[in-house]
Amino acid sequence: MKATLAWTGPKVELSDVSVRYAEAVALNKASLKVPHRTTIALIGASGCGKTTLLRAINRLHDLDESVRINGSVKLDGVEMLASGVDVYALRRRVGMIFPRPTVMPGTVADNAVFGMRAQGIRDRRELEDGCERALRRTLLWEYTIASGSMLKPADSLPIDLQQRLCIARALAVDPEVLLFDDPTFELDPIAAGGIEDIIARLRRDCTVLLATNDLQQAARLSDVTCYMAGGEIIEAGDTPVLFSRPANARTEDFLAGRAS
């Protein structure tokens, strides 16, 4: 009988990852281990490399020819920066949500199943099931049914619901890791609270990396917090510990709102 060994190491592992935009270094030898079903918050001033680090994980930097990336990014122990890796399959396993809602042309339903269709799924029943499952997970199902907006253009939704739809689009292809890049950037506190509720639910099923400028949000949602500055990871630790007793003086300055 063939035994299947489960991977017990970190879900995502970055080792000495450096990213350059032309001549500018955006990320400098960043190393980070993200255990299964853990939520890690990336905090730091704007331009410190949070987004760059997230994009290194799903290889979104590949879309920009001027970007050079070195180091190692492993998912379940398998190198993802190697040349033979199926990038499209990787991006289905590692979903990403952007700061501004980025709905696709078409209806709400079209958006929810966008990733499934891109994957080649054409079975109507399967698409309908996937759509319902994704919209339920983002608390959009009841709204779309009650308001009759399932077949309306996605960009006609209020902005917070558009962001939920973007999360649903990522969830429809059953990702194992979710990258949230400042997902409440454009939202008011109430709408942001709704998105946070969804992230809190998703933490149970997925590994989550959350880049945010909202320190309270990081404290509320994450198990581990990672402080970045100047393209480097300065300090990473359990969230309550890092916020109450940071080991590094630069982290302490940042949390206190002092320029270091």
Partner 1 sequence: MPLAALWSCAGFCVAALALVAAGLGINGWNDFLWVLQAPAPVGIWLALEASAVVLAIALPAVALLGFAAAGAAIDAKIGGFLAKFTEPAADSRIATASVVVGTVILIVVVSAGYRPDILSASLALIVVNLPAITGRFARALRAVSVVRLQAAAATGAGPVHIFFFVLARAAAKGLVAAVLTTAAQMLGETAALAVASRAALGGSHLKASTLGAWPLAVDLWTRASAHADLSAVSAATLILTLIILLLRSVAHALTPRAANPKPT
Q: ∠ at Cα 218 (182, 15), nearest 5°? A: 80
Q: Is 106 in the site for partner 1 (CB under 8 A)?
A: yes
Paired tokens of 233: 């990871």
Contact 72, 16 (CB under 8 A): yes
- Rule CB under 8 A: is residue 58 a binding residue for partner 1? yes
In whole angstroms, the minimum distance from the beta carbon of 117 to partner 1 comes to 7
Q: Does 130 bind partner 1 (CB under 8 A)?
A: no
Tell me the C-alpha distance between 49 and 67, whole Å.
Answer: 13
Which one of residues 10, 44, 49, 115 is an interface residue with partner 1 (CB under 8 A)?
Answer: 115
Distances from the Cα of 120 to the Cαs of 86, 87, 125, 127, 134, in angstroms? 15, 15, 14, 11, 18
Stretch that binds partner 1, among 85-93, 122-130, 204-212, 235-243 (CB under 8 A): 85-93
What is the phi-psi region of residue 168: left when phi exceeds 0, alpha when psi lies from -120 to 50, beta otherwise? Answer: alpha
48 belongs to the binding site for partner 1 (CB under 8 A): no
Contact between 40 and 224 under an 8 Å Cβ cutoff? The reply is yes
Does residue 104 interact with partner 1 by CB under 8 A? Answer: yes
191 binding partner 1? (CB under 8 A): no
Candidate residues 12, 30, 42, 96; the one interacting with partner 1 per rule CB under 8 A: 96
Residues in contact with partner 1 by the rule CB under 8 A: 58, 60, 63, 88-92, 95-96, 98, 100, 102, 104-106, 114-115, 117-119, 166, 169-170, 173
